[in-house]
Chains A and B, each alone.
Chain A
Amino acid sequence: MEPHLPILQVVVPLLCAPICVLLRDAKLSWLWATIVTWIAFFIALVLLGKVLASGLIIYELGSWPAPWGIEYRIDAANALVLVIITAIGAITLPYAKASVEKEVSEPRIYLFYLMYMLCLTGLIGITTTADAFNLFVFLEISSLSSYVLISLGGNRRALTASYRYLIMGTLGATFYIIGVGLMYMMTGSLNMADLATLLPAVDHTRTVLAAFAFVVVGLGLKLAMFPLHTWLPNAYAFAPSAVTVFLASTATKVAIYALLRLVFTVFGGTDLFIGTDISLMLIIVALVGMFAGAFVAIFQNDVKRMLAYSSVSQVGYMVLGIGMASAAGLTGGIVHLFNHAVMKGAAFMAVGAMFYVVGSVRLNDLAGIGKRMPVTTAVFLVAGLSLIGTPVTVGFISKWQLVQASLALGWWYVAAGILLSSLLAIVYVWRVVEVAYLKAPPEGAVGRSEAPLSMLVPMIVLAAATIWFGIDGDTTLRIAGEAANALMGPASGGKP
Chain B
Amino acid sequence: MVGPASPGLLGYWIVIALMMTGFYIVIAHDNLVKKIVGLNVFQVSVFLFYILMAKVTGGTAPILDEGIKLYSNPLPHVLILTAIVVGVATTALGLALVVRIRNAYDTIEDDEILAVEEEEDR
Contact = CB atoms under 8 A, between A and B. Distances in A.
B115 to A, nearest CB: 12
A178 B39 contact: no
B32 interface: yes
B105 interface: yes
B43 interface: yes
A170 B101 contact: no
A184 interface: yes
Interface in A104-160: 133, 136-137, 140, 144, 147-148, 151, 156-157, 159-160
Interface in B20-45: 23, 26, 32, 35, 39, 42-43
Nearest to B117: A157
A167 interface: yes
B18 to A, nearest CB: 12
Contact of A144 (B93, B104, B105, B120): B93
A181 interface: yes
Interface in B33-72: 35, 39, 42-43, 46, 49-50, 53
Interface in A158-187: 159-160, 162-163, 166-167, 170-171, 173-174, 177-178, 181, 184-185
A166 B40 CA distance: 13
Contacts of A144: 86, 89-90, 93
A159 B106 CA distance: 13
Contacts of B94: 163, 166-167, 170
Contacts, number: 69
Contacts of B42: 171, 174
B46 A160 contact: no
For chain A, give the interface size range.
Answer: 20 to 34
Contacts of A157: 117, 120
Nearest to B97: A163
Given A151-B97, A159-B101, A140 B86 contact: yes
Interface string B88-118: 0110011001101100110000000100010
B6 interface: no
A160 B94 CA distance: 10
Main secondary structure on chain B at its contact with chain A? Answer: helix
A177 B83 contact: yes
A162 B100 CA distance: 11
A163 B98 contact: yes
A178 B113 CA distance: 32
A159 B100 contact: yes
Contacts of B50: 181
Nearest to A180: B79
Given A147-B97, A156-B104, A184 B46 contact: no
Nearest to A185: B53
Contacts of A136: 83
A160 B117 contact: yes
Contact of B82 (A137, A160, A167): A137
Given A140-B89, A181-B46, 8 more contacts: A160-B113, A170-B39, A170-B90, A171-B42, A177-B83, A181-B49, A181-B50, A181-B76
Interface of A: 133, 136-137, 140, 144, 147-148, 151, 156-157, 159-160, 162-163, 166-167, 170-171, 173-174, 177-178, 181, 184-185, 190
28 contacts: A133-B79, A136-B83, A137-B82, A137-B86, A140-B89, A140-B90, A144-B86, A144-B93, A147-B97, A148-B93, A151-B97, A151-B100, A157-B117, A157-B120, A159-B97, A159-B101, A159-B104, A163-B32, A163-B98, A167-B94, A170-B43, A170-B94, A173-B86, A178-B49, A181-B50, A181-B53, A181-B76, A190-B79
A-B pairs with the 3 shortest C-beta distances? A156-B104, A140-B86, A163-B97
